[in-house]
């Protein structure tokens, strides 16, 4: 049934090519960004999961600490 529906659409063969080109361009752009991105930005973003910070309601940081690998004392602010 689906085969007959798809055969009835004019120029259906172009859509797989279009989707491949979109994917390929996205992949190339992503590779370009990876190799040209600022290494300091990458380092900062990689450390975000290890930071514990308290924020005011306006978004400013009250305190910020980086958890160490063997640190077992984790305090969660109220």
Average pLDDT over residues 32-41: 92
Share of the chain above pLDDT 90, in %: 29
In total, how many domains does the chain have? 1
Most confident region among 6-15, 18-27, 45-54 by mean pLDDT = 18-27
58 falls within a domain: yes
DSSP code of 78?
-
50 falls within a domain: yes
56 falls within a domain: yes
Q: Distance (Å, rounded) from C-alpha 78 to C-alpha 45?
A: 25
DSSP code of 49?
G
The residue range of the domain holding 50 is 2-66
Return the C-alpha torsion angle 44, 49, 50, 52, nearest 10.
Answer: 100
55 falls within a domain: yes
78 falls within a domain: no
76 falls within a domain: no
Bigger pLDDT: 54 vs 25: 25
Q: Rounded to two decimals, what is the model's pTM?
A: 0.49
Cross-strand partners of 65: 52
Residue 48's pLDDT is what?
Answer: 79
Residue 18's pLDDT is what?
Answer: 94
């Amino acid at each position: 049934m689906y085969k007959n529906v798809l055969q009835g659409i004019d120029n259906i063969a172009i859509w797989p090519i279009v989707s491949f080109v979109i994917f390929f361009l996205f992949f190339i752009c992503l590779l370009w960004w990876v190799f040209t991105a600022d290494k300091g930005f990458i380092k900062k973003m990689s450390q975000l999961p290890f930071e514990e910070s308290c924020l005011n309601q306006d978004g400013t940081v009250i305190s910020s600490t980086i958890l160490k690998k063997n640190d077992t004392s984790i305090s969660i602010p109220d």
